[in-house]
Structure 1
């Protein structure tokens, strides 16, 4: 049995996806909050917060002489100078230049990489490696609910105190690690990989975050040392609610992807290769929100919709290159932030919580993956993928893709807020009426 079998049984891909809608909040093996999500959000801009990232993502370990060739042949970005000590975003598209998914690739050595992310891009990598005859070996570690089964622990230390905490936790001097590079640090007598990158972001600070990983059997010693070092710096532990809300500041739309694989004849063999239980049976948020198209193709996006167009490089041959080169001349849509009008936010908050009768959809504190229509008048000009609030923003924002000509700071639009059927098919929210939220476009994170 395969994904294609599931699509055939459901009638079409859209029926399958809407029948298997997934609440992403159930994907995490650790507490929703350690203190409270507002203080955890504040910590990544004032002190530091420590997140456990070990269990909720798929890990691939790919080794062999064709590792870099496999990545280069399937990624829109260049791997020409990829080597040990470097990490890269990995973005894959189909033959038509539409997004399949993204992930993070870390070079563990000259011939082994760790690819981490959601399933969309990683399953595609496995398929191409197998069907293309690449000389590689792949070990896949699926997401778990915290029951082990992972080669590496993986934690994120985020905030302006991250460098000082690392220095205090380390056994010796810590060498400078460039952004999106890795270095090795000794903590509690164990060798630890440290990747310099950020989730939320501290504007103007290079050292705003580290991702730590190493052998699972060393986890308690290493994380214990980091927690001890962080105590004097005011570090907090972060839970799932604050972790999920970080996208409001970082702008990452990866979890919202509907991989562009469900309808093309050229993708049929891939759909037949994917097993019945694949996560490609599930797409987050396609049953909720005011955007409710009749074709699954209307959920497909290009790399520019998610902010990945800037990393495309045409210095190598890759799947989808010809189509992407044409799209690059005039991308139809661009990723933006939509900053909600405070008066509309307050109105929805009061009416949904204190009103009677027909009331708006409640605000999903602190974040939600939801596809809502973006309108100028009655004209559809884009679609949201994520709504979120952080104390650092001081208000609500949506991550969205809008028509390219509207991707200009200050452009005024409206979000049609509320599910397409008033919540009748969404057990997570009460029934409600749709309303409009005024918003303005920001092409960069408003927290900056």
Structure 2
């Protein structure tokens, strides 16, 4: 059965990504530099937003998440990570506490939490909300957000939110920063999206704001080391513990044409070979053993010595140039490396080699104009995770022409993390 799952993922036709509006607005090069020199506005409204309410709502998240909820104030947000019994990540996303018994969850955790609530029978309800999620991030983001809201926002701590007004619309201002820079994500009613977006763009005209298109949107996740489920890694959504999950998803949500699709040279014998734990994904600091949760026992065993470590890989520039040169040769060309990153929604898994042996998985590659490098987030044997280690990435899907690309281990995040810098 596991081999059939891999075959199905390999043969799926990846859909064009439904988010971020157009492919590019000014140009993908100009947009990529926005979070270095000014700021961007990015549209994450395609993410599903589910509200949970009821006396067991907090217990639900505590039971299925590795995170601690000993302190979780109203107006606070967490990046929640949820695992199967083997400690492999099945879902992740942002959770916001709206009230004593009210929560909002976006992304994959919204799906998994809804499924678990329904499956386990907690005294709580879930309701999908039609909302927008607009990110403003970069060195000038605070100035833009202050101008648009008429609010200094200096009291909003990292991963906290409160209500503000933009263009006469009440919205939640969540301080985060997916580009590794100071940023806010604004959440509100979907009917107010265009008015709020226009006001933010107008406020940003003096601060170098750029609209972020889908051609380059995920490069900020790559530079700032934010692995994204079903983009950088396969989730544990296909095993016995997830029985009925896919049927639940397709029966309750509009998945916007997205189907899980797998690319890359790595060939696991079972689906388990593709799965990763919070420690391997770089989220070990979120794992707290102050409560019982699914996967706790497995993660307790792994905590002291994770098998793999999240790193950034720098592709060798000469090898990337040779890869493109193959398009103009007489022999069959190598598989195309899309720049700056793939347009379609797919999860990428290339084999990392050291002395001819497989030592990890390299995820979706992307080109950073600022750093002049093709980079990937990679999950490599911990003994090889030191910056400067030389490895190779096997490029090319099984059955196609394959070549080895030299790569160098680098830190993750690749760029300096400024999300938590003091607001002033």
Match of 1:440 in 2: 408
Q: CA deviation at 1:334?
A: 1.4
Gaps of 5+ in 2: 417-424
Which residue does the alignment assign to 2:421? none
Q: Deviations over 1:267-299 (max 9, x none)?
A: 4465676657986x976442x211123422222
State which of 364, 370, 375 in structure 2 corresponds to 1:386.
364
SS in structure 1 at match of 2:8: helix
Correspondent of 1:418 among 396, 403, 412: 396
Residue of structure 2 equivalent to 1:347: 322
CA drift at 1:76: 0.6
Quote the offset at 1:380 in angstroms.
0.2
1:18-417 aligned at under 5 Å gives the runs 18-23=10-15, 25-28=16-19, 30-55=21-46, 57-118=47-108, 121-140=109-128, 150=130, 152-202=131-181, 208-254=182-228, 255-264=231-240, 266-268=241-243, 284-286=260-262, 288-349=263-324, 351-368=325-342, 369-417=347-395
Q: TM-score, normalised by structure 1?
A: 0.85
Note the residue ranges of structure 1 that are not aligned, 5 or more in a row. 1-6, 142-149, 203-207, 423-432
- Counterpart for residue 13 of structure 1: 5
Distance 1:325 1:305, change over 3 A: same
Give CA deviations for 1:54-73 in whole Å, capped at 9, x if unaligned: 12x22211111222111111
Change over 3 Å in CA distance of 1:346–1:62 after alignment to 2: same
Change (3 A) 1:285 1:309: farther
Structure 2: how far apart are the matches of 1:62 and 1:362? 43
Q: 2:246 & 2:201 partners in 1: Cα distance?
A: 44
Does structure 2 conserve the Cα–Cα contact (< 8 Å) formed by 1:45 and 1:201? no
Deviations 1:422-446 (A, max 9, x none): 1xxxxxxxxxx21111111123222
User: C-alpha distance in 2, partners of 1:28/1:211?
Assistant: 15
Per the normalisation by structure 2, the TM-score is 0.89
C-alpha distance in structure 2 between counterparts of 1:26 and 1:271, whole Å: 19
Q: Distance in 2 between matches of 1:224 and 1:336?
A: 38
Q: Distance in 2 between matches of 1:284 and 1:251?
A: 22
CA offset digits 1:71-96 (Å, max 9, x no partner): 11110111111121111001011111
SS of match in other structure, 2:360? strand
Tell me, yes or no, if the aligned pair for 2:20 and 2:212 is still in contact at 8 Å.
no
Offset at residue 173 of structure 1 (A): 4.0
Instruction: Assess if the C-alpha contact under 8 Å between 1:256 and 1:285 holds in 2.
Output: no
**Deviation by residue 1:183-203 (Cα, 9 ceiling, x = unmatched):** 22222222221111111223x
- Against the structure 1 CA distance between its residues 370 and 173, is the aligned structure 2 distance closer, same or farther, given a 3 Å change threshold? closer
Whole-Å separation in 1 of the counterparts to 2:111 and 2:190: 24
Distance 1:219 1:268, change over 3 A: closer
Q: Is the 8 A contact 1:307 1:334 kept in 2?
A: yes
Q: SS of the residue aligned with 1:32?
A: coil
CA contact (8 A) 2:12 2:261 kept: no
Residue 340 and residue 219 in structure 1: after superposition, are their counterparts in 2 closer, same or farther (change >3 A)?
same
Q: 1:175 to 1:185 in 2, by over 3 A?
A: farther
Residues of 1 paired with 2:386 and 2:6: CA distance? 33
Distance 1:338 1:217, change over 3 A: same
